[in-house]
A and B are shown apart, each in its own frame.
Chain A
Amino acid sequence: MNLVATVLSGAPIQFPSISYSSILPEVVFVGAAVLSMLLVAVLGQRDQTYGYTGLGVAAALFGGIWSYHLSQNVNARGAYAVVGGSLAVDGFSTFFMILTSVGVLITLLLAEAYLYKVSHRGPEFVALTLLSATGAMLMESAYDLLVLFIGLEILSISLYVMVSYTTSRRVSKESAFKYFILGGFASALFLYGLALVYGSTGSTNLGNIAAFLSKNTLTSNGVLLAGMVLILGGLGFKVAVVPFQFWTPDVYQGAPTSVTGFMSGVVKAAGFAALLRVFYFAFNTLRADWQPVLEIVAILTLLVGAVLAVVQSDAKRTLAYSSINHAGFILLGLYVASAASIGDSLYYLFAYTVMSSGTFGAISMIAHLEGRTEGTLSLADLRGIGRKYPKIALTLAILLLAQAGAPFTIGFLAKFSVLSSVVEAHHYVIAVIAMVSVVIAAVLYLRVTLSMYTPLTKDAEIDRVSTDPEISLGAVAVRVDEDTDLKVDAKVPVAAGLAMGLSVAMTVGFGLYASPLVQFASKAFLLR
């Protein structure tokens, strides 16, 4: 009624003022996505994908640089909320926006090299990646549960299409459908949690929720706790922590490998950003209620991820379980819930995004050079890769060792800082469990790395090839011929080489010279 009266009386309706410079990365990402689709409609150029990838890469670079500029602003003038208090611009959101831009950059470069060779070409993949990353950025800066939900859906809906991108393949369709149904289920859980929290606190704005909860003590807070658990479930699904992890191996295996890298990096970062902000900031006063739940979830995630990773035979399934193990570590930072431990989680997320994107990139390159279709590269296939493709094998070895937490890499400091903040908070049991999971997972990474450098005997090669139903007998002869001269001319596309080089450079670079990133992560404060 009010609205109608306002319109009839001719009085201007109040719109919130929008500070476009604060949301410029999102605007540029959406703009680049729309522009690439318009360009293909006008020019009709589907075969030359370099232009579209170039556009996406430019947008990602701009997003990263502008986010850094915003973070300098925040450092100088303090954090603030924009768009009617629904988006926060703080050290936390700008950190994650830079992380997202890096993830998008690596994903697009890898996709240019590989995905376009096997399926239909065109700008759609670039557009979807950029849109999905926009959703991720909205989730990372959302200061309102509803905006968080919209971001979650923008991210997810684009991702459902990306997972099914190679539609001709049955595995891809199957994993896309599984992801879609379970992702929709998780979104509905999150949304119901949102409704219950709204009902019991009277607002969806995180600042208002935090203020309400610090002022009032609810006499019966069953509805609020149920809402909290549902939100944890919905977001926990996106980041694949243990009761909600069952989709991960199937989807990671079935999706195109560059999309898997994107999911394990950018999507996981966005989900954790939302979890950290909602629980550490909005529900901070209810810490006594959520910490025990997170403790159990973190322990299960660490152990299930590590143990099941060791028994897998497929390369991408193994990495899927190892990503679950990593998620456990990131969750530990939230479980401890001190300012330092949140910084450790952020650092770990950055490290993990860089390492996993590169790892999936190397796996995708090996599958490509071996002439395999997506999702069929087993760990046994990695035997002897070290002599066949020395450069890729070295890349993969460095990234796997970094994931295991080897010194002088980004992975060591990530694991060390999370564990030290767990120990500082006197949670000794969980620290020991985390250490055990590191050792179990390290067995896996070392085994794979060693097998890559184990020379392949001729018999083993024939064995391997002939048991593979996809390769005919004629191919065996060819393979054996190649065996006499093991160094096959491995042609890695330039863009993919660049992407892998970038991730290795960051893995080793930030491992040796850690202080800038550590400083940056520890200064990423939340808007209060």
Chain B
Amino acid sequence: MSVPGSWYLILAAVLFGVGAFGLLVRRNILIMFMCLELMLNAVNLTLVTYSRMLNDIAGQVSVFFVLVVAAAEVVVGLGLIVAIFRGKRQVTADDLHVLRG
């Protein structure tokens, strides 16, 4: 039995949607950060699926680039979160409200 490619695409779309929704709705900075990673990994699943469907290696190569970029983003993001946590001792987005208007 083989699973059709479109199922993977739909799963990836759902994961991307969950990530995007979570990023916009959740207030905890770490969870927002995880949602961002979920979105990127949903894209990876899409790329691998298309790569299989098109029988073309470029999609799988792209995944490696995305993984490296995601890792670099984590470094900067966690650095920022630590810097915020040092000052505030808690990490919710509701505390970030000095700038508005």
Chain A residues at the B interface, C-beta cutoff of 8 Å: 146, 149-150, 153, 157, 160-161, 164, 167, 170-171, 173-178, 180-181, 184-185, 187-188, 191-192, 194-196, 198-199, 202-204, 249-250, 253-254, 312-314, 317, 375
Contact = CB atoms under 8 A, between A and B. Distances in A.
A504 B16 CA distance: 46
A195 B47 contact: yes
Interface in B31-61: 32-33, 36, 39-40, 42-43, 46-47, 49-50, 53-54, 56, 58-59
Interface in B10-36: 16, 19-20, 23, 29, 32-33, 36
B43 A192 contact: yes
B7 interface: no
Contacts of B39: 185, 188, 192
B76 to A, nearest CB: 5
Contact of A171 (B54, B79, B99): B99
Given A181-B32, A196-B46, A146 B98 contact: no
A160 B80 contact: yes
A174 B99 contact: yes
Contacts of B69: 149-150, 153, 187
Closest 5 CB pairs of A and B: A199-B50, A188-B39, A250-B99, A195-B46, A174-B96
A245 B40 CA distance: 22
A184 B62 contact: no
Given A185-B23, A188-B20, 20 more contacts: A149-B65, A150-B65, A150-B69, A174-B97, A177-B29, A178-B96, A180-B76, A181-B36, A184-B73, A188-B16, A188-B19, A191-B43, A199-B9, A199-B46, A199-B50, A204-B62, A250-B99, A253-B99, A317-B101, A375-B99
B87 to A, nearest CB: 7
A419 B65 CA distance: 41
10 contacts: A173-B80, A173-B87, A174-B98, A177-B29, A177-B84, A181-B23, A185-B23, A185-B36, A188-B40, A313-B101
B36 A184 contact: yes
- The B interface, classified by DSSP as helix, strand, loop or mixed, is helix
Contacts of B53: 199
B90 to A, nearest CB: 14
Nearest to B63: A195
A340 B59 CA distance: 36
Interface of B: 9, 16, 19-20, 23, 29, 32-33, 36, 39-40, 42-43, 46-47, 49-50, 53-54, 56, 58-59, 62, 65-66, 69, 72-73, 76-77, 79-81, 83-84, 87, 96-101
Contact of A164 (B9, B23, B54, B83): B83
Given A177-B29, A181-B23, A195 B56 contact: no
A146 B99 CA distance: 34
B80 A250 contact: no
Nearest to B24: A185
Nearest to B81: A177
Contacts of B65: 146, 149-150
Nearest to B45: A195
A134 to B, nearest CB: 14
A313 B47 CA distance: 46
Contacts of A194: 43, 62
B99 A198 contact: no
A192 B62 contact: no
Contact of B100 (A170, A176, A250): A250
Given A157-B72, A157-B76, A192 B101 contact: no
Nearest to B50: A199
B33 to A, nearest CB: 8
Contacts of A153: 69, 72-73
Nearest to B16: A192
Nearest to A196: B46
A513 to B, nearest CB: 41
Contacts of A160: 76-77, 80
A149 B83 CA distance: 27
Contacts of A198: 47, 50, 58-59, 62
A176 B58 CA distance: 34
A153 B39 CA distance: 15
Contacts of A180: 76-77, 80
B50 A195 contact: yes
Nearest to A250: B99
Contacts of B97: 174
Nearest to A204: B58
Contacts of A191: 40, 43, 66
A178 B81 CA distance: 11
A390 B6 CA distance: 67
Contacts of A184: 36, 73, 77
A199 B39 CA distance: 17
B46 A203 contact: no
A236 to B, nearest CB: 16
Nearest to A317: B101
Contacts of B23: 181, 185
A177 B33 CA distance: 11
A441 B68 CA distance: 43
B68 to A, nearest CB: 9
Contacts of A196: 46
Nearest to B95: A174
B80 A164 contact: yes
Given A188-B36, A191-B43, A199-B50, A170 B62 contact: no
Contacts of A157: 72-73, 76
